[in-house]
Amino acid sequence: MSFDYQNMRSGTAESSSDAQFAQAVLEGLLRVPKRLPSWLIYDDLGSEIFTEITQLPGYHPAQCEIEIFQRHKQAISDLLSKTAFRVIELGAGDGEKTQILLEHLIQNRLTFEYVPIDISEGAVKNLVAALESRYSQSNMSVLGIAADYFDGLSQISSNSSVRNIVLFLGSTIGNMELPVAEQFVRKLGESLNAGDYVMIGFDLMKDPKTLYAAYNDSTGVFERFNLHLLDILNQKLGANFLKEHFVQQGSYNPRTHAVESHIYSTREQVVLIKALGKEFSFDAWEAIQAEHSYKYTHAEIELLAEKSGYQVVTHLSDVHANFVDSVWEVKP
């Protein structure tokens, strides 16, 4: 079985994503109040710090999803085992949870391909190497792709004799506002074949106190994750943010149904972003909204599937029903 890695983050793909990045920062810092989208934070280090978040004991989305894979791996395997299939994972990160499923499929002697796609080259390379060292004697072949979600998907030949299941885990969909999430899942369905599955991890609405605790750890990992955004702006756009003059806090906003992370300027200051040819002023305690993590209800999940061209197959939950991995089939 083969264990391969492809990097699509070079040449034109890289320069168009750099231009998109600069445009998103410009628009976000000109907004009142300032607001930067969650996806800006993912370079290699951003993806690594996110892995640290998933290991925090109080970060329920990761703990719940591990439990869901352990409880329901046979049910997922039952969906797939009847025909040849391929497991594609968008934004795979360290692939920890997925390995619970992969191991189960391997133990059941199924033959399949696993295709992790992630914008972080480091994450994909490490994942392919880890899988090769553990499973080189199995019937699983692996093709890791470092790319944006849809560039990676378009790279995989559309072989209609192979059923695809696309995993989009970790409540990453919650980082998108509802209309963007709808566009995303519709485009995803259009990139697949009728009968393919998607499995999407949704964090469910719950007691705001639980949400507050999950996104404000005492060890400061969330703050490091969010302030890393300032390092990225310094590196990619030649900005001169000084991280020591900013602090971060997350809180649930009942108007947007999302946990919103804010980066607060602790003083009045001016920051130059060379690549944008602009200076941006911050008042003391002015906030930039950064991470956005929408909390879904079951009804919203079903509506999203229905409006975007899917049939809901099943909702897989942890025992306390804090989180759902919802499995949908692409309609003809």
Ligand X SMILES: C[S@@+](CC[C@H](N)C(=O)[O-])C[C@H]1O[C@@H](n2cnc3c(N)ncnc32)[C@H](O)[C@@H]1O
Residue with tokens 């594609």: 88
Mind giving me the DSSP string for 241-299?
--GGGEEEEEEEETTTTEEEEEEEESS-EEEEEGGGTEEEEE-TT-EEEEEEEE-B-HH
Q: Which is nearer to ligand X, 152 or 282 (CB)?
A: 152
Instruction: Show the binding pattern over residues 41-70: x = contacts ligand X (CB under 6 A), - = does not.
Output: -x----x--x---x----------------
Give whichever of 117 and 192 is closer to ligand X, judged by the CB atom.
Answer: 117
What letter represents residue 147's amino acid? Answer: A
Least distance (Å) between residue 119 CB and ligand X: 4
CA–CA gap between residue 151 and residue 156 (Å, rounded): 9
- Min separation Cβ 26 and ligand X, Å: 19
5 binds ligand X (CB under 6 A): no
Q: Site for ligand X (CB under 6 A): which residue of 85, 135, 149, 184?
A: 149
- C-alpha span between 318 and 324 (Å, rounded): 7
Nearer to ligand X, 148 or 260 (CB): 148
Q: Residue 282 — left, alpha, or beta (φ > 0 → left; ψ -120 to 50 → alpha)?
A: beta
Of 39-47, 226-234, 259-267, 271-279, the segment contacting ligand X by CB under 6 A is 39-47
Q: Which stretch binds ligand X (CB under 6 A): 168-176, 234-242, 245-253, 261-269?
A: 168-176
Does 39 interact with ligand X (rule: CB under 6 A)? yes
169/273 with CB nearer ligand X: 169
Applying CB under 6 A, which of residues 67, 148, 260, 329 lies at the interface with ligand X?
148
Assess 119 for contact with ligand X (CB under 6 A). yes
From the list 88, 101, 128, 169, which residue makes contact with ligand X (rule: CB under 6 A)? 169
Binding range to ligand X, per CB under 6 A, among 71-79, 89-97, 126-134, 255-263: 89-97
Residues 6+ apart with CB under 8 A from 244: none
DSSP character at residue 313: E
The alpha carbon torsion through 274, 280, 286, 292 (nearest 10 deg) reads -50
Binding-site size, ligand X (CB under 6 A)? 18
Amino acid occupying residue 160 = S
> Using N-to-C axis directions, what is the helix angle for 96-107 and 60-80, rounded to 10°?
30
Among residue numbers 310 through 329, which ones bind ligand X (CB under 6 A)? none
Longest dimension (CA), the chain: 62
**Does the protein bind ligand X through residue 250 (CB under 6 A)?**
no
Among 120, 126, 226, 326, indicate the residue that binds ligand X (CB under 6 A). 120
Alpha carbons 258 and 117: distance in angstroms, whole number: 26
- Which listed residue (138, 164, 172, 248) binds ligand X by CB under 6 A? 172
Residue 248 within binding range of ligand X, rule CB under 6 A: no
Nearer to ligand X among residue 91 and residue 144 (C-beta): 91
Alpha helices in the chain (DSSP H): 11-30, 44-54, 60-80, 96-107, 121-135, 149-155, 178-190, 208-214, 221-237, 298-307
Q: For binding to ligand X (CB under 6 A), which residues are involved? A: 39, 42, 47, 50, 54, 91-93, 117-120, 123, 148-149, 169-170, 172
